[in-house]
Chains A and B, each alone.
Chain A
Amino acid sequence: MEASEIKKRLEELLSSELVWKIGEKQTGDGWVEIPLEKWTEACRLARDDEKLLFEFLRALSGVDRPGENNIELVAHLFSYRHRHAVVLKTKVSRENPVAASVCSVWPAAEWYEREIFDLLGVNFREHPDLRRILLPEDWPGHPLRKDYQQPASYRGIPTSRPAPEGSAS
């Protein structure tokens, strides 16, 4: 199915208008924007509907957009049976980043959501085990945010290295 048909099908299933966007020069991938309150429902319909059958969650990423004051959750989906792909996006606000988890739809999402929680600070409701995955448990802050500042030291190890003597810096 083409991207426009997939979007139409999702609109039918969710019975609401959806926006489809693509990059500036019409290059790259287009995406379908899902309202935040319908995120899990849209994902479940995308997986279960006969015409869509997106049973493979390729990737679930987070993109920090301080300019628009939100964090985007981007789900790349693929169907092995129909051999088509789609990109679904939803936006959570930066001040109160809470979204519903899609672990019940794809078990693969468990770790992806833990990573987004770890690096971007988005909380996922109904996630079975939401804790840091890549960074140590006591790490301050969420590094993938654009305004992240590195602390001066971590557990006694300095985070910067003095330049060697005689070098210009």
Chain B
Amino acid sequence: MTLIERSPEGAVAIGPIDKLLNLARKHSLWYLLFGTACCAIELMQTGGPRADADRFGMMFRSSPRQADVLILAGTITYKMASRIRLLYEQMAEPRYVIAMGSCACTGGLFQKSYAVVNGGDLFLPVDVYIPGCPPRPEALLEGLLVVQQKVAAEPWLKKIQGKVPAKPDPALPREC
């Protein structure tokens, strides 16, 4: 519920703090420059000239401390899983995880392989699943827009006051 009143000095928007905060947050989602396999190339193309993610305010950051979104782009192996978990834990809240591509969603065509984790959600809490092998840049953009919708709908103040339960996180023994 946002009222916009226009006066000679300018416009005034009145609404819940959540809505205004989320408006700012959703237009500035920075994703971690992380990709393992083929989907990483499509991630690069999404940040490239044609399907430009930058126009939505999405920049790539190399450091997890500066990133909001972790895009699991590519196949996840057991050797890599503990490192991805480290990256996720280094990200400051609020953080979101997108499983991009079949491999990150469920293991993809490598499900029968001995070295591939069958999906990112076995060790990370995933917010958005984007199927495809690899998903087109437009599909990845749509997934990022779904994250934007999630962000817009978050009861932010209640969250930081602890009144809303945190999202379930599969426990993983830290043996890195």
Do chains A and B make direct contact within the complex (CB under 8 angstroms)?
A: yes
CB <8 Å contact, B115 and A143: yes
Contact B115 A155 (CB under 8 A): no
Which one of A134, A143, A148, A161 contacts B119 once the chains associate, using CB atoms below 8 Å? A161
Q: How far is the CA of A75 from the CA of B118 in the complex (A)?
A: 34
Q: CA–CA, A158 to B107, complex, Å?
A: 12
CB contact under 8 A between A158 and B122, given known A148-B114, A150-B114: yes
Chain A residues contacting B82 (CB-CB under 8 Å) are 155
For this complex, 17 residue pairs linking A to B, each with C-beta atoms less than 8 Å apart, are A134-B115, A136-B78, A136-B79, A139-B78, A150-B114, A154-B78, A155-B82, A155-B173, A155-B175, A156-B123, A156-B172, A157-B78, A157-B117, A157-B122, A157-B172, A158-B122, A161-B107
| Minimum Cβ distance to chain B for residue A131 (Å) | 14
Q: Chain A 12-55, CB within 8 Å of chain B: the 1/0 string? A: 00000000000000000000000000000000000000000000
Tell me if B118 and A160 are in contact (CB < 8 A).
yes
Contacts of B78 in A (CB 8 A): 136, 139, 154-155, 157
Residue of B nearest to A150 (CB): B114
Question: Counting CB contacts under 8 A, is B46 at the interface?
Answer: no
In the complex, A136 Cα to B114 Cα: how many Å? 12
A157 to B77, CA, bound (A): 11
In the complex, what residue of chain A is closest to B172 when comparing beta carbons?
A156
Closest to B123 in A: A157
* CB-CB contacts below 8 Å: B72-87 with A: 78-79, 81-82
Judge whether A96 is part of the interface by a CB distance below 8 angstroms.
no
Provide the residues of chain A in CB contact with B118, threshold 8 Å: 158-161
Interface size class of A (residues with CB under 8 A): 10 to 19
B81 near A157: Cβ-Cβ < 8 Å? yes
Using Cβ atoms and an 8 Å threshold, which residues of chain A touch B175?
Answer: 155-156
A143 touches B114 (CB 8 A): yes
Closest to B78 in A: A154
A59 at interface, CB cutoff 8 A: no
Hey, which chain A residues are within 8 Å of B62, CB to CB?
Answer: none
Q: Indicate with 1 or 0, residue by residue over B156-176, a CB within 8 angstroms of chain A CB atoms.
A: 000000000000000111010
A148 to B175, CA, bound (A): 25
CB distance from A134 to the nearest CB of B (A): 8
Question: Distance in Å from the Cβ of B24 to the closest Cβ of chain A?
Answer: 36
Nearest CB in chain B: distance from A62 CB, A: 16
Chain B residues contacting A150 (CB-CB under 8 Å) are 114
Q: Does A1 contact B (CB under 8 A)?
A: no
Q: Is the CB of B36 closer than 8 A to any CB of chain A? A: no
Inter-chain pairs besides A150-B114, A155-B78, A158-B122, 6 sampled, C-beta below 8 Å: A155-B81, A155-B82, A155-B175, A159-B114, A161-B111, A161-B122
Is B22 in contact with chain A by the CB < 8 A criterion?
A: no
Contacts of A154 in B (CB 8 A): 78
Which residue of B is nearest A151, CB measured?
Answer: B114
Name the interface residues of B112-136: CB closer than 8 Å to any CB of A: 114-115, 117-119, 122-123
Query: How close is B2's CB to chain A, nearest CB, in angstroms?
Result: 39
State how many angstroms separate the Cβ of B80 from the closest Cβ of chain A: 10
Question: Contact string, A51-68, partner B, CB cutoff 8 A, digits 1/0?
Answer: 000000000000000000
